[in-house]
Structure 1
Amino acid sequence: MGSFLEAVGDGVVLVRVRGNLDGWAGSAELAEALTTVADRRGRRTVVDLSSVDFADSSGLHALLHGLRKHDSAGVPLVVAGPLSVQVRRLFEVTGTLGAFRFVNDVAAAITE
């Protein structure tokens, strides 16, 4: 998994995630990145999951951790897709679809 932070203007930070998001790769890095961004107290954080092929409960835990940090900081966190079938299924099976704000693509999440 790779992720990186990118300031995209007007207080919006984009966190791009690529590859797998699971207990073996990426989950700890994503949780750390989301904590760092929340602490900056920007206007919005967009997590781009459009290039994630697979995610498990560790990846979901990292996202939920990041969501809690953002809620505490008063910074909206938006998840951008499109999501792969496997990633969308993870949110559906765990009943966490309603916990996140989902947007169809990064451009829409940044400009809304």
Structure 2
Amino acid sequence: MTADELHVVVEATDDGVVLIRVRGTLDGWSGPSGLVEALDEAAGSGGRLTVADLSGLEFADSAALHALLNAQHRHAEAGVPLVLAGPLGTGVRRLFEVSGTSGVFTFADTVDAALTC
């Protein structure tokens, strides 16, 4: 995997949690389609919780934010909580702060903490 490549891994647990681990760069160049597909499937899976592990995300731009906002909306419609887990890198955290969207999402410091949300 190169530094600007997006890598998405999906894990489903027996207790209804879908864990989506995101690594690399999530921007308009790398394309968020892998993450969008994983989040769409998680929202429609009938699970009890989706956790997006963003701790390995090196960079994110408005394309990433757009994908996550749409996913939040789909999860809310499906009645499935979506939690964004970190720790978030400075640039990724700043994206939410500058855009004023921090209050739209539920954040957890770690994946383990997200599992208790």
CA contact (8 A) 1:77 1:101 kept: yes
1:75 aligns with 2:80: yes
Question: Greater helix percent: which structure?
Answer: 1
| Superposed displacement of residue 26, structure 1 | 4.2
> SS at 1:18's partner residue?
strand
Q: CA deviation at 1:111?
A: 3.5
Q: After TM superposition, what 4+ stretches of structure 1 lie above 3 angstroms from structure 2?
A: none
Report the Cα distance in structure 1 between the residues aligned to 2:67 and 2:89, rounded to whole angstroms.
Answer: 18
* Unaligned 5+ runs, structure 2: 1-5
- Residue 101, structure 1, aligned to residue 106, structure 2: yes
For residues 10-32 of structure 1, the C-alpha deviation after alignment (integer angstroms, 9 at most, x for no partner) is 10110000000111114121111
Matches within 5 A, 1:1-112: 1-112=6-117
Identify unmatched segments of 5+ residues in structure 1.
none
Count of equivalent residues: 112
TM superposition shift of 1:40: 0.6
The one-letter code matched in structure 1 to 2:20 is V
Give the TM-score taking structure 2 as reference length: 0.92
Q: Which amino acid is 2:9 matched to?
A: F
**SS of the residue aligned with 1:17?**
strand
RMSD of aligned C-alpha atoms? 1.0
Distance in 1 (alpha carbons) for counterparts of 2:95 and 2:60 = 7
Measured against aligned partners, the alpha-carbon deviations of 1:43-71 in whole angstroms (never above 9, x if no partner) come to 00000000001000000111111111101
Checking the alignment, whether the CA contact within 8 Å between 1:20 and 1:26 is kept in structure 2 is: no
SS at match of 1:111: coil
Identity %: 57
Contact 1:81/1:104 (<8 A) preserved? yes
